[in-house]
């Protein structure tokens, strides 16, 4: 116990920088591979449905294994688990670089997600359990700033790799970053004895929880393509629901459950955990639809739209550090309220935005969400880990990010469904009123892609200039109103977060120091 207290008062700047670099490495993989898809399709001869799994499988395996990875860190020497995760990540990155087929590439990306699922909860718990109470907010802010910077810079690395003529270079950078991170962990971070001893791994509970997460995320990912009412998607949602409901009952009959009863009965932990999620639909939907707004409505190129997103992305990257600095002096409850209030105002702006304002129609929302989200996300993550004993910090960190991703994915699925129904309905009604006709396929192409794409130009090839202008005006109007409508659920979720914050007792968010 004395050793642990001494370590908490001496968390060095080098150790903080190491955790931040490890987080940055994971973050680049979430967004950086987005720009590789067309090049992968061309070289490996795969279709878009298959190559989408190069992106999706990473998030799926990452989400599935986070709680397990966190628990392994709690029951074993945490630095060793972190190093194993990084070694797996390096090997998987090399596998991606050398992949001879899209199948091998997808398998390697799955292995990357598996490694990341060991890394992420380990660095969260390492930061929380080795820092003093005064340091903790700043350390956690640095970690979250690291992963966000990786999200921001990842597409740049991917874009440069493609522009140099080889998408595989992105994974060379992956391997180099993760290898450097592993060396820094080995040299800088101290060994940390297991927080618990002689506790068996709850294999059955892990399998049930992982299967529930996999079924949910797979259904959300495939629903738009297969149809939300299809038998497969309904079956996946049903299976996920049954498994999630069964999980607490399963945990009652194992000797050492992955989620101990005291965590499930810890009110502050559950409230803080929910605050990791309730904000995410607003941010995830912004990532999806704000670039499309800039391309569809303003005619910007992909590169221009990327720069146009800076007012959102830059505050997200640095805001976590600012939030971490104020965690102790201001208090988590005030920071959470400020963050959620700003994001709710950003959602409200989108709901009632005037698209004729051009870039300034979305700029205020970008700024409000960009400054608000890191205040809330960084603080909620720190509060969640701090509300449990040190022996459960890893599983708490894994749960917080799992909820973060899963609820964000649900928000995107809801927004996408609303957007599709609203915009396509408006386009059809407008075409009928104008006396024009388009096939369902052409409407789907025009509603989902930029007007400058070859598919969109092909869909409009049979019309004269006047009719094309009418159709494009309909598409613009339908997209803007659809996006505004799609933000209502995100606004409701942010307001629900404000109510949760009001119920939070911040005096009980210090169990990790107990």
Residue 153 burial (CB < 10 Å; 0-12/13-18/19+)? middle
> From CA 140, how far away is CA 327, in angstroms rounded?
10
Least confident stretch, 239-243, 342-346, 403-407, 499-503? 403-407
Q: Could you state, in order of their start, the residue ranges of all structural domains in the chain?
A: 1-200, 202-257, 266-514
First and final C-alpha spacing in the chain: 11
The per-residue pLDDT of the chain, averaged, comes to: 82
Q: pLDDT tens-digit profile of 62-94?
A: 877 887 888 787 778 888 999 999 999 999 999
Name, of 11-15, 37-41, 101-105, the range with top average pLDDT: 101-105
CATH class of this structure's domain 1-200: mainly alpha
Q: What is the dihedral of CA 182, 184, 187, 188, to 10 degrees?
A: -130
How far is the CA of 430 from the CAs of 418, 426, 435, 482, in angstroms? 18, 6, 9, 14
Judged against a pLDDT cut of 70, whether residue 486 lies above it is answered with yes
Q: pLDDT tens-digit profile of 94-117?
A: 999 999 998 999 999 999 999 998
* pLDDT at residue 161 in the model: 86
Q: What does the angle CA 290 – CA 317 – CA 367 come to, to the nearest 5 degrees?
A: 45
Judged against a pLDDT cut of 60, whether residue 135 lies above it is answered with yes
Least confident stretch, 7-11, 170-174, 191-195, 477-481? 7-11
Whether 1-200 shares its CATH topology with 266-514 is answered yes
Q: pLDDT tens-digit profile of 267-287?
A: 888 898 899 889 999 998 898
Neighbours of 13 (CB within 10 A): 8
> From CA 252, how far away is CA 244, in angstroms rounded?
14
pLDDT-derived band of residue 209, with 50, 70 and 90 as boundaries? confident
Task: Determine contact, residues 387/507, Cβ cutoff 8 Å.
Answer: no
Judged against a pLDDT cut of 50, whether residue 466 lies above it is answered with yes
- The residue that leads in pLDDT, 309 or 343, is 343
* pLDDT at residue 8 in the model: 41
Strands, E assignment, 24-66: none
Judged against a pLDDT cut of 60, whether residue 493 lies above it is answered with yes
Judged against a pLDDT cut of 60, whether residue 512 lies above it is answered with no
Judged against a pLDDT cut of 70, whether residue 178 lies above it is answered with yes
- The residue that leads in pLDDT, 209 or 89, is 89
pLDDT-derived band of residue 9, with 50, 70 and 90 as boundaries? very low
pLDDT (mean) for 16-22: 89
* pLDDT at residue 321 in the model: 79
Judged against a pLDDT cut of 70, whether residue 188 lies above it is answered with yes
pLDDT (mean) for 332-339: 93
* DSSP helix/strand/coil, 300: coil
CATH class of this structure's domain 266-514: mainly alpha
pLDDT (mean) for 313-338: 85
* DSSP helix/strand/coil, 47: coil
Q: What is the pTM of this model?
A: 0.78
For the chain, percent of residues with pLDDT exceeding 90: 27
> From CA 184, how far away is CA 14, in angstroms rounded?
9
* pLDDT at residue 1 in the model: 35
pLDDT-derived band of residue 403, with 50, 70 and 90 as boundaries? confident
Q: pLDDT tens-digit profile of 355-389?
A: 989 999 999 999 999 999 999 988 888 888 777 77
* pLDDT at residue 4 in the model: 39
Least confident stretch, 257-266, 328-337, 345-354, 449-458? 449-458
Helices (runs of H) and strands (runs of E) counted in the chain: 21, 0
CB neighbours of 484 closer than 8 A, spacing ≥ 6? Answer: 350, 351, 352, 353
């Amino acid at each position: 116990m004395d050793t642990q207290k001494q370590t908490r008062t001496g968390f060095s700047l080098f150790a903080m920088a190491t955790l931040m670099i490890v987080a940055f490495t994971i973050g680049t993989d979430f967004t950086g591979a987005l720009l590789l898809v067309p090049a992968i399709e061309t070289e490996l001869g795969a279709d878009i449905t298959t190559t989408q799994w190069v992106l999706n499988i990473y998030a799926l395996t990452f989400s599935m294994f986070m709680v397990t990875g966190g628990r392994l860190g709690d029951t074993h020497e945490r630095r060793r688990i972190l190093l194993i995760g990084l070694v797996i990540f390096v090997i998987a990155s090399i596998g991606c670089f050398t992949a001879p087929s899209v199948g091998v590439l997808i398998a390697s990306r799955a292995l990357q997600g598996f490694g990341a699922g060991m890394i992420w909860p380990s660095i969260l718990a390492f930061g929380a359990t080795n820092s003093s109470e005064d340091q903790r907010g700043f350390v956690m802010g640095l970690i979250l700033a690291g992963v966000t910077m990786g999200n921001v810079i990842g597409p740049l690395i991917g874009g440069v790799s493609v522009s140099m003529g080889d998408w595989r270079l992105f994974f060379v950078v992956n391997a180099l970053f993760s290898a450097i991170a592993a060396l820094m962990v080995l040299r800088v971070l101290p060994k940390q004895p297991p927080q618990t001893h002689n506790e068996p791994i709850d294999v059955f509970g892990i399998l049930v929880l992982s299967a529930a997460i996999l079924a949910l995320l797979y259904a959300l990912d495939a629903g738009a393509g297969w149809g939300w009412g299809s038998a497969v998607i309904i079956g996946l949602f049903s299976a996920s629901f049954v498994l999630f409901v069964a999980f607490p009952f399963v945990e009652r009959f194992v000797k050492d459950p992955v989620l101990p009863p005291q965590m499930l009965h810890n009110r502050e932990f559950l409230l803080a955990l929910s605050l990791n999620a309730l904000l995410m639909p607003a941010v995830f939907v912004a990532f999806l639809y704000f670039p499309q707004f800039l391309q569809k409505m303003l005619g910007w190129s992909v590169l221009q739209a990327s720069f146009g997103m800076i007012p959102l992305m830059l505050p997200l990257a640095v805001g976590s550090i600012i939030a971490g600095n104020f965690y102790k002096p201001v208090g988590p409850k005030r920071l959470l309220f400020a963050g959620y209030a700003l994001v709710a105002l950003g959602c409200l702006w989108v709901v009632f935005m005037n698209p004729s304002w051009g870039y300034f129609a979305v700029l205020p929302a970008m700024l409000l969400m960009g400054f608000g989200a890191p205040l809330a996300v960084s603080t909620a993550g720190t509060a969640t880990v701090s509300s449990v004993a040190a022996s459960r910090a890893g599983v708490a960190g894994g749960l917080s990010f799992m909820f973060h991703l899963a609820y964000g994915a649900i928000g995107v699925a809801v927004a996408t469904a609303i957007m599709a129904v609203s915009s396509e309905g408006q386009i059809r009604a407008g075409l009928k009123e104008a006396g024009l006709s388009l096939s369902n396929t052409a409407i789907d192409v025009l509603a989902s892609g930029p007007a400058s794409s070859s598919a969109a130009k092909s869909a409009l090839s049979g019309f004269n200039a006047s009719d094309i202008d009418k159709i494009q005006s309909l598409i613009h109007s339908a997209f803007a109103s659809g996006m505004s409508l799609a933000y209502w659920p995100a606004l409701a979720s942010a307001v629900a977060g404000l109510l949760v914050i009001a119920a939070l007792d911040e005096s009980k968010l210090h169990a990790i120091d107990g």
